[in-house]
Amino acid sequence: MNSVNPSSVSRRAWLHQTLQATAGASLLGSPLGLLAATPAAGHVVVLGGGVGGATAAKYLKLFNPALKVTVIEKNRNYIRPYGSSEVLNQHASMDELNVGYGALASRYGVNFVFDTVTGFDPQARTVTTAGKQSIAYDRLIVSPGIQLMYSAYAGYTEQVANTAIPSGWIPGQQTALLAKQLQGMRQGGTFVLAAPPNPYRCPPGPYERAALMTEWFARHNPRAKVIIVDPKDSFVTDESMMLGWNRLYNFNLPDDYSKKMSPQVELLQHATPGNLTWVRGKDGGRTLKVDAKTMRITTEAEDIKADVINVIPPMKAGQLAATLGLTDASGWCPVERATFKSTLQPHVHVIGDASVADAMPKSGFSANTQAKVVARAIVDELAGRPVDTAPVWENTCYALAGKDYGLFVADVFRIRDGKIARTNGKERYLPLNATPAQIKLGARYQQAWLRTFTQDCFA
């Protein structure tokens, strides 16, 4: 067992230690020589070239360049979901969300097959595609992301989402449509964002999106209203996010939050509340139906006439996971925790949003750190070495309450009692008493993270 912790050492040091473990200390001195000395050990096929899949492919080749690694991905370019709400407030363009696969192919020797996976034979160990290809593998990594359950609300369908009430939680044409609707909304209009139930991709994301639009409207459409309707009563980063809203948008916190937070931080009580409202589950915020013709959204509490509606519906593992028999009744993919090996199919590892990872959120950061741990486990297993049974994972979600108002949640995870649990020694969130400089720095970290994270996954 090797207990090297990728979170506690720099990436370079971690790679160095991994190389040592991989090829033996006697070959140290030339990392490349070390890598080359690792025995060739088969073919790993990765399904899905998103955050999880791309990172896994890159790190498999870094850990053992002799390994053959093939990514099967349906799109020639990846549209990154993380940072995609910044298209709505004109902070980024749709083009800036595009990420190519050239670097993974040319720098690391990852093979790409651009095709849609349609099935597999777990006994023969072959994957089949819509283009009638059959590709053999020794190990399979599946990182298919999510699918949106449009039909969860009466009146909502994929067709309605594509044409009138976009979701944009898988970025693409719906993101562009939503941006156009929001930026063209009539003066004084109402924007309703329907937040999803747990578990969902990117826990602070819906609230960040609402905040960024409230900020944008203040400049371009100052009487516009933003209403978040929510089936939940709380969300990750809620205290630090709402403190930002309180300061930036005259948002008055719900009483229970005010009581809890006011001993730690000064909260402003605004005689005239601002234009951002959060309707919680306990106040009837759960969405029941939408009507695209009349642009109405009905929750348990009320019927709201809106100008723009953004529904983020419930979600489950990407369709590919179900097609391959990797999902259970929950709609997600159960895995052995240390290796993310599927408990339902042999020789398959499921990572990223689709996997059941207990306390780990469905985030890009999580998918990236899971990919590295799995790449390491596969390289070790194929080389006949023991596999780490006590890995450490980490996650940091940066989020914006405004363009210059950054906050975060940061966690370290280990296996406890058979489940992945948080084991932080320190505070998870931006402290409520953070200084203005720390808050501004948080926003700079978020922007820097978008760049360096994309490089770590795709370049």
Ligand X SMILES: Cc1cc2nc3c(=O)[nH]c(=O)nc-3n(C[C@H](O)[C@H](O)[C@H](O)COP(=O)(O)OP(=O)(O)OC[C@H]3O[C@@H](n4cnc5c(N)ncnc54)[C@H](O)[C@@H]3O)c2cc1C
Contact residues for ligand X (CB under 6 A)?
47-53, 72-75, 78, 81-82, 84-85, 116-117, 143-145, 169, 201-202, 205, 318, 320, 352-354, 362-365, 367, 397-398
Whose Cβ is closer to ligand X: residue 71's or residue 185's?
Answer: 71
Question: Can you read off the two tokens belonging to residue 87?
Answer: 């298209």
Whose Cβ is closer to ligand X: residue 23's or residue 442's?
Answer: 442
Q: How far is the CB of 395 from ligand X (least distance, A)?
A: 7
Q: How far is the CB of 28 from ligand X (least distance, A)?
A: 34
Q: What is the DSSP letter of 113?
A: E
Whose Cβ is closer to ligand X: residue 147's or residue 246's?
Answer: 147
Q: How far is the CB of 293 from ligand X (least distance, A)?
A: 27
Q: For ligand X, which residue has the nearest CB?
A: 50
d(CA 205, CA 225): 19
Whose Cβ is closer to ligand X: residue 166's or residue 253's?
Answer: 166
Whose Cβ is closer to ligand X: residue 169's or residue 251's?
Answer: 169
Q: How far is the CB of 263 from ligand X (least distance, A)?
A: 30
Whose Cβ is closer to ligand X: residue 48's or residue 313's?
Answer: 48
Q: How far is the CB of 323 from ligand X (least distance, A)?
A: 7
Q: How far is the CB of 41 from ligand X (least distance, A)?
A: 24
Whose Cβ is closer to ligand X: residue 41's or residue 326's?
Answer: 326
451 class by beta-carbon count within 10 Å (0-12 exposed, 13-18 middle, 19+ buried): exposed
What order of strands is seen across the sheet that includes strand 419-422? 393-402, 405-416, 419-422
Q: How far is CA 1 from CA 64, 388, 393, 408, in A?
A: 19, 5, 16, 33
User: Cis before residue 273, ω within 30 degrees of 0?
Assistant: no
d(CA 122, CA 140): 10
Q: How far is the CB of 35 from ligand X (least distance, A)?
A: 25
Provide DSSP, 398-435.
EEEEETTEEEEEEEEEEEETTEEEE--SS-SB--TT--
Whose Cβ is closer to ligand X: residue 398's or residue 405's?
Answer: 398
d(CA 104, CA 121): 27
Q: How far is the CB of 71 from ligand X (least distance, A)?
A: 9
Pairing of strands 111-114, 68-73: parallel
Put residue 188 in one of left, alpha, beta given phi > 0 → left and psi -120 to 50 → alpha: left
> Contact 82/97 with Cβ under 8 angstroms?
no
Nearest CA to 235 among 197, 273, 262, 264? 197
CA angle 263, 267, 271 (to 5 degrees): 140
Whose Cβ is closer to ligand X: residue 115's or residue 300's?
Answer: 115
d(CA 358, CA 413): 10
Q: How far is the CB of 102 from ligand X (least distance, A)?
A: 16
* Amino acid letter for position 9: V
Question: Can you read off the two tokens belonging to residue 395?
Answer: 């996650």
Whose Cβ is closer to ligand X: residue 288's or residue 450's?
Answer: 450
Q: How far is the CB of 446 from ligand X (least distance, A)?
A: 7
Whose Cβ is closer to ligand X: residue 115's or residue 138's?
Answer: 115
Question: Can you read off the two tokens belonging to residue 260?
Answer: 């809890």
* Amino acid letter for position 399: A
Q: How far is CA 413 from CA 19, 328, 359, 369, 416, in A?
A: 23, 24, 8, 11, 9
Q: How far is the CB of 116 from ligand X (least distance, A)?
A: 4
